[in-house]
Amino acid sequence: METKIFKPNQINQAAAAIKAGELVAFPTETVYGLGADATNEAAVKQVYQAKGRPSDNPLIVHVTGVDQVRKYAQPLPAAAEKLIKAFWPGPLTLIFELQPGALSKSVTGGLTTAAFRNPDNQPTLDLIRESGVPLVGPSANTSGKPSPTLAEHVYHDLNGKIAGILDDGPTRVGVESTVLDMSTDVPTILRPGGVTEEQLEKVIGTVRSSHHHVGAGEVPKAPGMKYKHYAPNAQVYIVDHEEDWPAALAWAGQQDGQVGVMALAATIANDRLPANAEFFTLGADMQTASHQLFAGLRHFDLESPVKSILAQGFDDQGLGAAYMNRLNKSAGQTHFTNK
């Protein structure tokens, strides 16, 4: 299969592929998603095959707005209406109870709920409208690898496996959406992301953050809760504190192979990198670090292969919760220690 690159002025061609039951990756403000007609079970099953994704890992349904959600979900609670008004389109995914039989088990993982998102990217909204159906859209990468923030990342992983990629340049946010479960008594964050807990609580009051570990025989309600995610080829080591960097860089200089270093510009500015280390800047602050995280992991996979990566850790508050959620998973919870 030839994977075509569609530009935003070729939406009709990308939509024709979706209507034909094929897969087209699309841009969002967070990461690129792998799109298929959410109402076409055969097409949805192809998403799992192309990614190598476990079939019990449910998919997020991308819509153009709340009216499309109402076709499939049970009546929405008042709190959900407030959140939709405040954050859609944007990086917030909401989980709702479904009308019986509204979506196939391939989309829901066999659950009675589904996750919906209204992405903040005009070409993708145009693609959904032109296709006439909502689109499933897990990250457009090989399952378990760092999420794609460029069309080139998608092409590397899925070339020959999907019909096309709608290329709208680099994504703006860089980490996936916040997933909020609205089917529980108290709205519960299942995955931190671009909308913080504090922002949610300003709109609807108390929300919870779930720290539930999904067991081997349990179906997760949202992506990223059960399986290995975001892992580059190299082993990632999280450097938790700025005062740990001199020891971390000394350790890097003692390694036989190349070592990648990912940190804020100011963190490394006064340190001398060892000869076998390459620096990838995470920018100036938490906002830029979140935006650059996947790009850095992809850089060391595709452009400058290394055996190890030292990555800067942050407090898991606000946007830092999303950053550390992804970084901990990419590192397999491995932290640098000088002991």
Express as a percent the part of the chain with pLDDT over 90. Answer: 86
pLDDT digit string, tens, across residues 73-90: 999 999 999 999 999 999
pLDDT of residue 1: 82
pLDDT of residue 212: 58
Q: What is the CATH class of 235-331?
A: alpha beta
β-sheet bridge partners, residue 280:
262
pLDDT of residue 280: 97
- What mean pLDDT comes out for the span 247-263? 95
pLDDT digit string, tens, across residues 84-110: 999 999 999 999 999 999 999 999 988
pLDDT of residue 58: 87
Q: Name the pLDDT band for 221 (thresholds 50, 70, 90).
A: confident
Tell me the domain boundaries of the chain: 4-209, 235-331
The CA distance from 172 to 149, in Å, is: 8
For β-strands 164-166 and 4-6, DSSP reports them as parallel
State yes or no: pLDDT of 225 exceeds 80.
no
State yes or no: pLDDT of 248 exceeds 70.
yes
pLDDT of residue 168: 98
pTM of the prediction? 0.92
State yes or no: pLDDT of 136 exceeds 80.
yes
Nearest 5°: phi and psi at 167?
-95, 115
CB atoms within 10 A of CB 13: 16
pLDDT digit string, tens, across residues 195-217: 999 999 999 999 999 865 555 56
Q: Name the pLDDT band for 228 (thresholds 50, 70, 90).
A: low
pLDDT digit string, tens, across residues 162-196: 999 999 999 999 899 999 999 999 999 999 999 99
Residue with structure tokens 């990838």?
A: 280
Local structure of 206: helix, strand or coil:
coil
pLDDT of residue 224: 60
pLDDT of residue 57: 78
Q: Is 133 left (phi over 0), alpha (psi -120 to 50) or beta?
A: beta
State yes or no: pLDDT of 290 exceeds 90.
yes
State yes or no: pLDDT of 227 exceeds 70.
no
How does the average pLDDT of the chain come out, rounded? 93
pLDDT digit string, tens, across residues 15-59: 999 999 999 999 999 999 999 999 999 999 999 999 998 776 789
pLDDT digit string, tens, across residues 294-319: 999 999 999 998 999 999 999 999 99
Local structure of 204: helix, strand or coil:
helix
Burial 305-337 (b: 16+ CB within 10 A, else e): ebebbbbbbbebebbbbbbbbbbbbbbeeeebe
CATH of span 4-209? 3.90.870.10
CB atoms within 10 A of CB 304: 11
* DSSP per residue, 100-148: TTSS-HHHHTT-SEEEEE--S-HHHHHHHHHHTS-EE--BSSSTTSPPP
